[in-house]
Structure 1
């Protein structure tokens, strides 16, 4: 037998068969709650028991769905948390030996699982099938589905039929990763927000790093930046990041823009800079040299003689700011400054000194030109202007970002707004906005963070983990704009994870100084917190940190780092 398998393996190599192994695992989850049923269903609570996925002849505890000519048996299940994957049915010996048809509807909210695709409410099967029919065998097991969901509605479609169910389990598919980074403080709301951001990105770390697990299962490289910062803060190195960066590079020959969006090619540069800073993988950076230098050469042609950006393609920051052309221009100018600054760093490392000098001159010229721009009332552009040095961070904080608190925040650019507040020293204000804005999603029943959220949606909004009561608003169906209207809105979007990376960097205080975390500066900023502790992953091992405010208000720190890392305390 061993000789046979050796020959098979050799044959596969000779004929060039590609053997690709899935990097993910499967976990089976029983429902935690029955949210609704269309009629009396005998044994329905048996579905809440943990099963083993095996059909059996002697089955005692069954759930029996029956339908007549006029009545259809249906049930809505809650699996307790958002997952990426599908669903498994384990059947018993129904009276008929024929397959039985069921309809499956997944939902990121309870109301989405109850809806039809009607062309008006936003529900769709884009990217992933969330509404489909399935034939279930007699005394067997059937699996189907590949989407992001928490809720599932099951309808027995056949008339005058009876279906015996031993189990219905969700199949969670994910990378089995250790959460090397951690964050804990005396405010449990912030702790839950940090964990939720980490889990949101974890679900999107499939074979590639996706935008969302229901809709936008694509590599949108600009959206990756907050995700990559979260990956670096929680998991450390993971192949999904370079694999995704290489994918978008390989399908975007210059002079094309990544995803057709000029700013996204700029974000690719910034991710390369930050990924190298955190991981210190020179060989990987070296492999990017040809494309990276070619992209910088292209960007040098996209400013005029005064340093004003003239980017073409789709001009985009994020969706909420997309209709404000003046703000988009100010934001793109800021990103060009950051891209040229990154070009100086990366070209110096890659021994491209002549190009580094040209990038330095372009950065200076672009920075000078950008100082006269206006963020046009948007917190998105204002944040980028503060980060790139086009505006004084304190002015940005006082005139734009802190005005109205969380009003005007967005899930993608919220990360950069928080960074701008940190540059202004407004850590307490940033913590309050995290509690208010991201915390509001948790208050509505979220277990992952959403593609978009607006504080104006809150009044009279029902929770997403229950059916919408009369007089309450369906926050999933009734809101959303642009590409995420109604139920098309993604409730697990990695770009919304910004608070996780931000809390690790600015409150726990981990600032990477030299590539590969060879030198790390620890600057604790507790805001209104009494203590904070956590861990931070590096290529050399985990840094353990605790900061505590004493009776006099002075912060005392305890830091335990691998011997390869130089720690600078401030």
Structure 2
């Protein structure tokens, strides 16, 4: 069995960026963020609670034809009463400032202080400070600042201190209390509590305005997201705004998914900002009565994360595909990684898992990953699969493993392992009599949007995801020092993997079949399980080659029409060395959307559809999302399989660079690692690499031995060569491409 990379480093808990909590308030046009200072005091709270609270606000902003449209799975809430504490050693007395979100009391060395003090002086010596905060409306949080005493994520917190007082007045032993490290972002401004933060906005303007009688059609030139702003509104009457990702949708008063309708009465000109963000390229404004509007603009809302990765090559169309992928991903990177900006605007685990991977090659923003991970998980008890979808539960486990692989953050896993454990036990409790995952009442077995895809029986795809998730659980249990759990989950994984191939491999078809029904294999072969087994490295070399031809390159096997599963299909082909084939597929599939005028990539693309058929989905004329996070996968594919950079141990302590031009004449780019950027240029005769921290290995296929003054070139046989790369060093290699 291929082992998952081991433990390499203990990194600091979570470094997070500043985000907001609401769109219901008026948007602000500047972020107002203070500079990040690791030594400054910050607002802190119970870990995971702010993420849950914020996700509730974000996911319940969705409207459909003007109606509130809430999520349809269980949502949790924050703990309303939290105890914060930390011990300090002071060489001199120290005055501290205390701010909280909620009602609070303060104890010093176990003794309560009178009232609700905002400033207190702590004597020199060893002292323990406790602050207990109650807040039902938003997350209990504290901000404490002094010369040495500062609130940060080293403080300990609990939602139940188990304290009681006996008849003598003595407090009880509270050693049974479970304390965790506090949660926090870089919220350093004491005057702005966490519940007040919001995403920043900036003004944007339509590139074309067409007026006719009482209607005005505005074209903002490309897909965008934010608040519409009406300038110079005056009179008595109505304003209706119909939003469209396409012109056809904006002009359809009957079928546009989102709109705003206002009744206004003002005798002087004033501006009006819509209360909720919308996704659109086009806005159709219709006025009636005596209302006049001087002009219309928008406030573009964005997550202020910075691009660290890049890609550019000799093919102009691939460059455009990469750029549109970046913009698609930017639009769907908000307080969390959401699925799409028009319709759902929810946090779906399957969508988020792909966003994590794209993030590692564009932003390397750990905060958005951990926020999304915690928001998805919620709290115990577990009553259903994540988003009610069986496969989405397993993607959540896989996302945690990838987070560890790319960042090396053991502390996050150790802190939240209990939430992993209870979720996995829920899954194991829903196996059938054969010990296999099978859809039960209340389960949604999704896999993909595909015509007539059977979900009956025990699908091979679900067993594969479960097996990988069990391997992840064994690794994470070991990190959390839960050794018996680690042994048990590894045994479950080993047993399932041993049974998996006899249950699902069909030698005559040279493939894994789709399902088992009534204890027997079905005849159907689909791409899903087979392609995942390739990049999970579950196949031997003979099976890989067989599946490549019997499934992945076989047009008789049902084709995939969603970017969601094209992501994995093309990854599997890249893992098999088919970069030339994948490059053509990217130009055909994503290029096909561009040729239809796409300014962001879609939820689904079927080249057989014509005209406005492309906008329809879910039985609705404009039901499809034309800006969907899973459409941005070229970011990941080009970074990992063309520039060829991937970690081989957690936190990029070791990594490999294996550039593959795939028919390109040259390419260049950056891959962020969290410890610097790896910079690569590759042509048919030259490779240049500037390394980041960590020990790298460069692998090159060349018809003759490469030349490199900065490193020794080692032949691995069969025109393959390797070089060891030291940290923060530049290498220049001359070689001769095989193609």
In the superposition, the TM-score normalised over structure 1's length comes to 0.80
> Which residue pairs with 2:280 in the alignment?
149
* 1:538-561 per-position Cα deviation (integer Å, ceiling 9, x unaligned): 2212221111112xxxxx321112
How far did residue 104 of structure 1 move? Answer: 0.5
Q: Secondary structure at the match of 1:364?
A: helix
How far did residue 328 of structure 1 move? Answer: 7.7
How far did residue 171 of structure 1 move? Answer: 1.6
Preserved CA contact (<8 Å) 2:238 2:261: no
Preserved CA contact (<8 Å) 1:226 1:496: no
How far did residue 304 of structure 1 move? Answer: 6.2
Match of 1:87 among 222, 228, 232: 228
1:30 aligns with 2:30: no
Q: Measured at CA, do residues 100 and 533 of structure 1 come closer, stay the same or move farther in structure 2, by a change above 3 Å?
A: same
> Which residue pairs with 2:569 in the alignment?
417
Structural mapping, 1:274-353, within 5 Å: 274-303=402-431, 308-310=436-438, 312=440, 313-320=443-450, 323-325=453-455, 329-353=459-483
Q: Secondary structure at the match of 1:363?
A: helix
How far did residue 337 of structure 1 move? Answer: 2.2
- Larger deviation, residues 316-325 vs 215-224: 316-325
How far did residue 255 of structure 1 move? Answer: 5.2
How far did residue 79 of structure 1 move? Answer: 0.4
Q: Measured at CA, do residues 164 and 86 of structure 1 come closer, stay the same or move farther in structure 2, by a change above 3 Å?
A: closer
Structural mapping, 1:221-300, within 5 Å: 221-251=349-379, 253-254=381-382, 256-300=384-428
Q: Measured at CA, do residues 286 and 73 of structure 1 come closer, stay the same or move farther in structure 2, by a change above 3 Å?
A: same
Preserved CA contact (<8 Å) 2:605 2:614: no
Match of 1:540 among 675, 689, 695: 675
Specify which structure has the higher proportion of strand.
2
* 1:389-432 per-position Cα deviation (integer Å, ceiling 9, x unaligned): 55533333322223349953421111111111122221111111
> Which residue pairs with 2:698 in the alignment?
569
> Which residue pairs with 2:513 in the alignment?
374
> Which residue pairs with 2:688 in the alignment?
558
Structural mapping, 1:100-499, within 5 Å: 100-118=237-255, 123-125=256-258, 130-133=259-262, 135=264, 137=266, 138-144=268-274, 145-158=276-289, 161=290, 163-165=292-294, 167-251=295-379, 253-254=381-382, 256-303=384-431, 308-310=436-438, 312=440, 313-320=443-450, 323-325=453-455, 329-371=459-501, 372=504, 373-375=512-514, 376-389=524-537, 391=539, 392-404=543-555, 407-457=559-609, 461=610, 473-477=611-615, 479-481=616-618, 485-499=620-634
* 1:478-523 per-position Cα deviation (integer Å, ceiling 9, x unaligned): x3246xx331211111122222111110001011111112211101
CA distance in 2, matches of 1:190, 1:271: 28
Q: Measured at CA, do residues 324 and 567 of structure 1 come closer, stay the same or move farther in structure 2, by a change above 3 Å?
A: same
How far did residue 527 of structure 1 move? Answer: 0.8
Q: Measured at CA, do residues 354 and 557 of structure 1 come closer, stay the same or move farther in structure 2, by a change above 3 Å?
A: farther
How far did residue 302 of structure 1 move? Answer: 4.8
After superposition, the CA RMSD in angstroms is: 2.7
| Structure with greater contact order relative to length (CA < 8 Å, sep ≥ 6) | 1
Q: Measured at CA, do residues 381 and 135 of structure 1 come closer, stay the same or move farther in structure 2, by a change above 3 Å?
A: farther
Q: Measured at CA, do residues 530 and 539 of structure 1 come closer, stay the same or move farther in structure 2, by a change above 3 Å?
A: same
CA distance in 2, matches of 1:522, 1:399: 30
Q: Secondary structure at the match of 1:288?
A: helix
> Which residue pairs with 2:661 in the alignment?
526
How far did residue 272 of structure 1 move? Answer: 0.4
Specify which structure has the higher proportion of helix.
1
CA distance in 1, matches of 2:227, 2:333: 16
Q: Measured at CA, do residues 73 and 252 of structure 1 come closer, stay the same or move farther in structure 2, by a change above 3 Å?
A: farther
Q: Which has the larger radius of gyration?
A: 2
Q: Secondary structure at the match of 1:351?
A: coil
CA distance in 2, matches of 1:501, 1:233: 6
How far did residue 321 of structure 1 move? Answer: 6.2
Q: Measured at CA, do residues 531 and 348 of structure 1 come closer, stay the same or move farther in structure 2, by a change above 3 Å?
A: farther
Q: Measured at CA, do residues 252 and 423 of structure 1 come closer, stay the same or move farther in structure 2, by a change above 3 Å?
A: farther
CA distance in 1, matches of 2:536, 2:602: 27
Q: Secondary structure at the match of 2:534?
A: helix
Question: Structure 2: where are the runs of 5+ without partners?
Answer: 1-96, 105-133, 139-192, 505-511, 515-523, 700-739
CA distance in 2, matches of 1:496, 1:236: 19
How far did residue 252 of structure 1 move? Answer: 5.9
In the superposition, the TM-score normalised over structure 2's length comes to 0.62
CA distance in 2, matches of 1:481, 1:154: 27
Preserved CA contact (<8 Å) 2:602 2:625: yes
How far did residue 184 of structure 1 move? Answer: 0.9
Q: Measured at CA, do residues 186 and 273 of structure 1 come closer, stay the same or move farther in structure 2, by a change above 3 Å?
A: same
Preserved CA contact (<8 Å) 1:547 1:557: yes
How far did residue 164 of structure 1 move? Answer: 4.8
CA distance in 2, matches of 1:305, 1:139: 71
Q: Secondary structure at the match of 2:235?
A: coil
CA distance in 2, matches of 1:328, 1:222: 20
CA distance in 2, matches of 1:321, 1:513: 38
Q: Measured at CA, do residues 495 and 219 of structure 1 come closer, stay the same or move farther in structure 2, by a change above 3 Å?
A: same
CA distance in 1, matches of 2:228, 2:531: 42
Preserved CA contact (<8 Å) 1:91 1:136: no
Preserved CA contact (<8 Å) 1:308 1:370: no
Preserved CA contact (<8 Å) 2:241 2:261: yes
CA distance in 2, matches of 1:486, 1:436: 25
